[in-house]
Chains A and B, each alone.
Chain A
């Protein structure tokens, strides 16, 4: 098949005559871009910048918690750090990273010339720097930034919140608009721009998982928008959605928030499943086991994600029947999730395995995500959840699924596709250092948190009882080590971007399959300008 962009015509972007040439000048190339690859790169670079910013806040948190007593920051600022760390990591690091991967890879994987709505694509990215500038600005406002946790429970976020709350609400609205537009773009692209012969059940799993993720985004981001708007009107315009004194209910806030929040959790993990389902077969040199069941499992996880929100709220005082319903549904999620893990292991089984860095991250993902899944199953058991709830056990759980889960999968994806994006192989020596340092430190960081939680340490506290001191010191050391390890990744990426290293061939991985490997590395600025043939 021909993927040589230079000989093709009929490119959707009519802003410039020479389709094979990138627009010249920084402004035209990056600010006005409608090219899915450039926008993908922007998303990925932005998310990495946010990852380091949110990470710096985590370092402040861990430094304060290194010893009992208050050393570095006041409790009010500590609360701002936990809040903004969470918001940035969720909305600024993990989600944009996945959107970046989607932008880069979905058109390439399905044989489309670009995303279906390229101008909107530009807009959905360029909203983000403004949204996060606003968010970060609040930290310098009088009274400080949001200090009510990333979950912004009312009435802490309404009656008792700092004046900057209005800015926080506006920033969240912007992020939501960006996500919804990104999701619409993904859906329209996958549904309309597949190359002839690329039937739904031939789609790479990354595309499938993103399609399902995009539907989740469209379903729940408006709910989040509703929640922040109600917070806004409760605080500034005298409504009483969440104030019992005016006929409202503070627990209703939590229902609305988690109706968004739980599908949101899956928004941050389903694309990971797609990435791992691409990488494991490549380095096992064997087709993915149970493709169809992977698709069905993803869809059922997405469906169930709408029926489990109240497991975040078991202690709020629900009727027993509701507690039982949410417990059973939550336990049920472990079935399709288990199927996925079994399928990955079955893919590796009797393969011909090699352990390049993407594979190392993918294997680490499977093991550590599964550990996070197990603690999730433990948390689903309502009577025991009463003990775990709002302790460090929960912190350990969601960091296992988000850091050694989602973020490890993003790292795996980056190493896997960096040769395709930049045309250069990553520095293998540094990349291996990055992997092993991350793997070891992430476990020193998060595994002992399970013990802290079981021993009774609540989350979101700036100071703790003496018995927790030693384990917290270990956790903090792990935290600093993990933070530093990510700087190695920064070096690796910069080296690739600056063209230092071995030239990458069109298909640098022996066992790789898919349209992205049938075009040269780096991928030309315009690809699939005539649809490829799908066998």
Chain B
């Protein structure tokens, strides 16, 4: 039948098109792997092996089934004079092709069960990290070491909006990466402050949901030092695509040094906070620091121009709270507003940063209140709240 030949011709054309497109992709793709990562842990290696096993099983079954089907398509055709047989059941065959897949599945379930049980055993950990997701950042806390910090996307808005060239690790870079020791069993306690997030680092084969009000456990033991990147894997609102995870794995000695330095930094920051209370910022300094803080922490919702998004995130430009009521303004930035996406920034920012960003909001975009907010003012407001 000529029509069928025409169809086959078109199909060949289609195949050619697909192949050439795939080829084009292969040539220019910036080293995107086309398969699952083997990762850098024993578990991730086992997961990769399971993935390959089940993949090959599927390929073999697919090959057999499709071969039979295409054999029929090619040979049992009416235009080749094929006469239809009339058989329509065969109990023996039907039992066989029910039983064989069943046996294959059992063969597959055994190693999968073993790996799963190993993955779900976070006992005897050497180090415990609390991972807390919130819209749209991660917070890491090293249990027993007095070190904690927020980790935010480091790619800038102008890269996202195509005004500046995107850096190599665009959307996969953060300001403060999580640092972990190599060769130690690290336990993660994963939770959330607002919606559900999911902490995922492919190289560790760890993906665990961060559920608000509940704590999930996961663990890893990294074999090789290096930088490992991941992303939030559960839709968590507007900037779900903009909360990456970066982990730096260091040998134990380097990790210890790093941890000690962090502890030292935390002590220094506290001391600086004290001196800061006695000092005052001038308008220029406040606006400069305030703009930085605003763009990093506030602009995602309230927008760089302070106009917010109608019906979703309120505008700060011309807002009554921002132009008049200082106390309410400080309160909402410091303590957040429950039941909304407005977070409490008291723990996320220093007193100086809080003062600067509040002052910036009161003077930017034509708000021009002339108010200069000082760290001491913020501190006073916090203490008042505590009493």
Residue numbers of A with Cβ under 8 A of B are: 68-71, 74-76, 79, 141-144, 147-149, 153, 155-156, 159-160, 162-163, 243-245, 249-251, 284-293, 315-317, 320, 323-324, 327-328, 331-332, 334-335, 338-339, 341-342, 345-355, 360, 363, 366-367, 370-371, 374-375, 377-378, 381-384, 386-387, 389-391, 428, 432, 436, 439-440, 443-444, 448, 451, 454-456, 458-471, 474, 477, 511
Contacts and interface: CB of A to CB of B under 8 A. Distances in A.
A462 B119 CA distance: 31
Contacts of B146: none
Given A351-B72, A467-B31, 19 more contacts: A71-B162, A160-B135, A163-B311, A287-B88, A290-B88, A290-B94, A293-B89, A338-B97, A338-B101, A342-B97, A346-B93, A352-B83, A354-B79, A367-B69, A381-B108, A390-B200, A465-B172, A466-B170, A470-B24
A117 B301 CA distance: 52
B89 A291 contact: yes
A381 B112 contact: yes
Contact of B119 (A371, A386, A477): A386
Interface stretch (B50-58, B259-267, B361-369, B375-383): B50-58
Interface string B75-101: 011110011111111100110011001
B132 to A, nearest CB: 14
A309 to B, nearest CB: 16
27 contacts: A70-B160, A148-B235, A159-B194, A159-B339, A162-B311, A285-B78, A315-B209, A317-B214, A320-B120, A323-B120, A335-B98, A342-B65, A348-B69, A348-B72, A349-B68, A370-B65, A378-B55, A384-B36, A386-B119, A387-B47, A387-B51, A444-B18, A455-B33, A455-B34, A456-B202, A456-B231, A466-B170
Interface string B1-35: 00110010011001001100110110011111111
Interface in B175-224: 190, 194-196, 198, 200, 202, 205-209, 211-214, 216-217
B86 A378 contact: no
Contact of A331 (B4, B79, B84, B108): B108
Interface stretch (B137-145, B239-247, B284-292, B328-336): B239-247
A149 B274 CA distance: 46
B310 A143 contact: yes
Contacts of A474: 21-22, 24-25
Nearest to A244: B213
A377 B58 contact: yes
A286 B88 contact: yes
B82 A345 contact: no
Given A289-B87, A291-B89, A439-B14, A153 B235 contact: yes
B113 A465 contact: no
B105 interface: yes
A437 B233 CA distance: 33
B66 interface: yes
Nearest to B171: A465
Nearest to A286: B84
B150 to A, nearest CB: 20
A523 B194 CA distance: 58
A458 B231 contact: yes
Of A147, A249, A432, A454, most B-chain CB atoms within 10 Å = A454
A470 B28 contact: yes
Contacts of B66: 367, 370
Contacts of B235: 79, 148-149, 153, 156, 459-460
Contacts of A432: 3, 7
Given A346-B93, A387-B205, A455-B32, A470 B231 contact: no
Nearest to B102: A335
B270 to A, nearest CB: 30
A247 B180 CA distance: 35
B93 A348 contact: no
Contact of B116 (A290, A327, A443): A327
Interface in B103-151: 105, 108-109, 112-113, 115-117, 119-120, 135
B312 interface: yes
Contacts of B77: 352-354
Contact of B169 (A144, A346, A465): A465
Contacts of B30: 466-467, 469-470
Contacts of A144: 311-312
A460 B172 CA distance: 16
A351 B84 contact: yes
A369 B132 CA distance: 39
A383 B116 contact: yes
B73 interface: yes
Contact of B206 (A149, A332, A378, A386): A386
Contact of B85 (A74, A323, A350, A439): A350
Contacts of A287: 86, 88
B237 A384 contact: no
Contacts of A354: 77-79
A317 B217 contact: yes
Contacts of A335: 98, 101-102, 105
Nearest to A462: B241
A351 B119 contact: no
Nearest to B51: A384
B312 A371 contact: no
A523 to B, nearest CB: 27
Output the residue of B32, B35, B58, B239 with the most chain A CB within 10 A.
B32
Contacts of B4: 355
B37 interface: yes
Contacts of B241: 75, 458, 460-464
Contact of B78 (A79, A353, A375, A470): A353
B232 interface: yes
A328 B66 CA distance: 26
B109 A383 contact: no
B32 A470 contact: yes
A390 to B, nearest CB: 4
B306 interface: no
A378 B51 contact: yes
Nearest to B66: A367
A313 to B, nearest CB: 8
B62 A370 contact: yes
A511 to B, nearest CB: 8
